[in-house]
Amino acid sequence: MKEIELTPKELEFAVKLWGLSNDERKIILPNLTDYQKRFIRHWKDFFKYKIIQEVVWAKNCAEGAKPGDKFVYSAIGEFLPDESTFGCTFGMQVMLPFMYVVRDRICSGIDPTPMGINYVRCIDTPPAQGGTGGSLFKVYCIKDKVKVPPGTYRPGVEVD
């Protein structure tokens, strides 16, 4: 893969995004990894996609999960509570690998919507197995603009 050279504008954006001090800037910017460069270059693309974690099966879930409930995230990995019908940290915890796959695809200029492995279980188990409930989720990515409230990120960090 060809080495990526960020423009001065992209480098300034990295400084704003990460809130780098002058000392950090001198150390970090010359040593950005290829992934970090692609992350900066594709920043706005993360807000064109959503990751959906939909309950397809639930048994004795103490949180009340039922088929059709959904957790919705931006492709950057932020939970979107206003678009979700459910939220439980036991279920959310299993999403990190999927979020990295979607982020990597976006950073590589690849369509993130097809998911090869797209089912995952809650880390809890039903009471019969010693837990407090169990759920199975279907995970998928859709192209849909994420509405980001003003002031979500540091000053100068735009998503539109």
| Spatial distance between the Cα atoms of 52 and 105, rounded to a whole number of angstroms | 16
Under the banding of pLDDT at 50, 70 and 90, the label for residue 63 is confident
Q: 59 in helix, strand or coil?
A: strand
**Rounded average pLDDT over 93-114:** 93
Residue 149: pLDDT over 80:
no
Under the banding of pLDDT at 50, 70 and 90, the label for residue 160 is low
Going edge to edge, which strands form the sheet with 119-121? 70-74, 49-59, 134-143, 119-121
**Rounded average pLDDT over 114-142:** 89
